[in-house]
Structure 1
Amino acid sequence: MVEMIRVSYGTAIAMGLIKARLLARPTTAYLMLYHQGKCMNDCKFCPQARSSKAGSEKLSRVTWPEFPIERVRVYFPNGNFRRVCLQTIDYQGMIDDTLEILGMLADFNVPISVSITPVPRDVLEEFKELGVDYIGVGLDVASERIYKEIKISRHSWAEMWRFFHNVVKVFGRGRAVVHLIVGLGETDKELLETIHKVYEEGGLVSLFAFTPIKGTALENLAPPPIERYRKIQAAHYLIKTGVAGLEDFEFDENGNLIRLPKVDIPAIAFVTQGCPWCNRPYYNERPGKEPYNFPDVELVDVEKIKRELI
């Protein structure tokens, strides 16, 4: 019987579980499986990795305090959320716990996303029956060249892509959301090739900026420059919308993106991308800094970004 669940700090504030000020209100309720140990995988960027010395309450830079699940069910309506996003970590019993929690979440009567490591196709079918309509696929590393080095995982590059294809088969095109982290050692060319592949084969891309967390293997790696991230966001938008193909981008001999097609890039390109109603406020950076992914289109200064992209 699952008794506890983790709730992202901002989600907990929106629910009224924590008294604090919200700088940007989450439109999705972000929840995470509660597990006393670490994840079985050992991804070098992740606080949940089995060798990480970071606290178990962390995912990226966000704190996820634990609460009794019955209390969360009582407070949930206060948040006026449009979606639930359930994050999982890999441990024995994870699938059973996920199914149990999904049964409880059905009471909220909102669409559900699940971000999960590869599970069998019949489990995906069960998720669908329980109200899940989007699946987050944590490929994370955009380059097969460095995947094994960064993702110390039970699941290979090929296995992740097989899982992605199963999600597309079960949930339909546009429902497999592939998470990609910018700044793990991949080139811009590798990033755009992977982004293009995801869209060509029926998925969506959700971009993240690498965030160094104390206690992880990559705690001393710098986050990507905001200028680089903006170029990738713009290129992602052009690929996603079909405005540009890989042949329309220019790279140098090291795979750095040096020229975008000369078309207008709207503000929406720089807003959090992923499942509907996902805005992930301040997931990659501390409040007060310019967000890598803006939580709201009204916060985007398009003219400033255009000047940076030139």
Structure 2
Amino acid sequence: MKVRVSYGTAIAMGLIKAKLLARPTTAYLMTYHEGKCLNDCKFCPQARSSRASADKLSRVTWPVFDLSQIVEKFPQGGFKRICLQTIDYPGLTDDIFTVLEALQKLEVPISISITPVKRDILEKFKRFNVDYIGIGLDVASERLYKEIKISRYSWRDMWDFLDNVVKVFGRGRGVAHIIVGLGETDREVLSTIFEVYRRGGIVSLFAFTPIKGTPLENYKPPSVKRYRRIQWAHYLIKTGRATLGDFEFDEEGNLVGFPRDGINPMAFVTQGCPWCNRPYYNERPGKEPYNFPSAGMVDIENIKRELLFSSESLAL
């Protein structure tokens, strides 16, 4: 049985010899399939029509190892959690259960990011230390969803799946992935974030990353300034300090006003399952991260001065 391992995770396990700039606190694994995904999301290198390398997800390389090697080397990483990413292909759930059975001896909690599955499958996941489910909504705008997510699953299917995850695992255990920078307005992304929390889910924010070989390879990523403001607005919604009515938008849906007091560095740290820090998933080392791997890396005074209290338009 073969499994893909994110490059940073492989280094932490000792499967690859290289330097780590930020140690992953979660072990990131991905199901292995010789072909591409059945879905055709325009931003994804795993999409069925993508010309990108099959060992890519976002900008991260995922080399292949035997599952037995991963189990053997896992303790070297000091990980607090396992996150199993999946692509959609025939026989996926069988492969997942094979992987989960092998991982049981590690006795760590497991998250699975997966396309919609039936409720009985979710119930079975719970028997294998799975306590969080990632939901790849990705596109925050219903008007753009069909255009970008060329998927077997509709906008409604994804929301129904979130509802089922909450019913099976409880509130706060369904993690909706949302990518900022796919053409959505600030109003759309914040409305979607608010709806996720209203339904009992939580949000993990990503910044769009153009990957060579995908239809969106020439599309620009979001500015860090815009991303920071979405992060702060998300944090206010997540912590119950703001509702949609507390934000101001211009006629084009750009965020132009929101509460600014008491800026917390945790707003700019990777959000999602416990112990998820996914270092440099959206950006190359040396550049300011969209999502900081730890609160200690956040220059909060700089964020206050340059991003949140700037006199220029908040839409930048």
TM (norm. structure 1) is 0.99
Residue 168 of structure 2 is matched in structure 1 by 170
- Partners of 2:201 and 2:97 lie apart in 1 by 24
Residue 77 of structure 2 is matched in structure 1 by 79
Q: What is the DSSP-based 3-state SS (H/G/I as helix, E as strand, rest coil) of the residue aligned with 1:127? A: helix
Residue 309 of structure 1 is matched in structure 2 by 308
Residue 34 of structure 2 is matched in structure 1 by 36
Residue 202 of structure 1 is matched in structure 2 by 200
Residue 130 of structure 1 is matched in structure 2 by 128
CA contact (8 A) 2:260 2:308 kept: no
Q: How far off its partner does 1:81 sit?
A: 0.3
Residue 184 of structure 1 is matched in structure 2 by 182
Query: Cα deviation per residue 1:102-151 (whole Å; 9 max; x = unaligned)?
Result: 11111110000000000000000000111100000000000101000000
- Partners of 2:301 and 2:258 lie apart in 1 by 16
Query: Cα deviation per residue 1:178-235 (whole Å; 9 max; x = unaligned)?
Result: 0000000100000000000011110000000000000001000000000000000000
Q: What is the DSSP-based 3-state SS (H/G/I as helix, E as strand, rest coil) of the residue aligned with 1:86? A: strand
Residue 293 of structure 1 is matched in structure 2 by 291
Residue 46 of structure 2 is matched in structure 1 by 48
- Partners of 1:141 and 1:245 lie apart in 2 by 21
Match of 2:243 among 237, 242, 245: 245
Residue 18 of structure 2 is matched in structure 1 by 20
RMSD: 0.5
CA contact (8 A) 2:37 2:89 kept: yes
Match of 2:97 among 96, 99, 121: 99
- The residue type paired with residue 112 of structure 2 is V
- Partners of 2:261 and 2:298 lie apart in 1 by 18
Query: Cα deviation per residue 1:155-188 (whole Å; 9 max; x = unaligned)?
Result: 0000000111000000000000000000001000
Q: How far off its partner does 1:263 sit?
A: 1.9
- The residue type paired with residue 288 of structure 2 is E
- Partners of 2:118 and 2:5 lie apart in 1 by 26
- Partners of 2:42 and 2:126 lie apart in 1 by 31
Does residue 65 of structure 1 match 2:63? yes
- Partners of 2:187 and 2:160 lie apart in 1 by 23
Residue 139 of structure 1 is matched in structure 2 by 137
Q: How far off its partner does 1:265 sit?
A: 1.7
CA contact (8 A) 2:25 2:81 kept: yes
Query: Cα deviation per residue 1:14-40 (whole Å; 9 max; x = unaligned)?
Result: 000000000000000000001000000
- Partners of 1:130 and 1:109 lie apart in 2 by 9
In the alignment of these two chains, the number of paired residues is: 308
- Partners of 1:301 and 1:229 lie apart in 2 by 15
Q: How far off its partner does 1:262 sit?
A: 3.2
Q: Calculate percent identity across the aligned residue pairs.
A: 70
- The residue type paired with residue 2 of structure 2 is M
Residue 276 of structure 2 is matched in structure 1 by 278
- Partners of 1:46 and 1:52 lie apart in 2 by 7
- Partners of 2:85 and 2:99 lie apart in 1 by 11
- Partners of 1:93 and 1:194 lie apart in 2 by 32
- Partners of 1:93 and 1:172 lie apart in 2 by 27
- Partners of 2:148 and 2:180 lie apart in 1 by 13
Gapped regions of structure 1 (runs ≥ 5): none
Q: How far off its partner does 1:282 sit?
A: 0.1
- Residues 108-123 of structure 1 correspond to what in structure 2 (within 5 A)? 108-123=106-121
Residue 257 of structure 1 is matched in structure 2 by 255
Q: What is the DSSP-based 3-state SS (H/G/I as helix, E as strand, rest coil) of the residue aligned with 1:231? A: helix
Q: Which runs of 4+ in 1 moved over 3 A?
A: none
- Partners of 2:260 and 2:294 lie apart in 1 by 25
- Partners of 2:49 and 2:179 lie apart in 1 by 20
Gapped regions of structure 2 (runs ≥ 5): 310-316
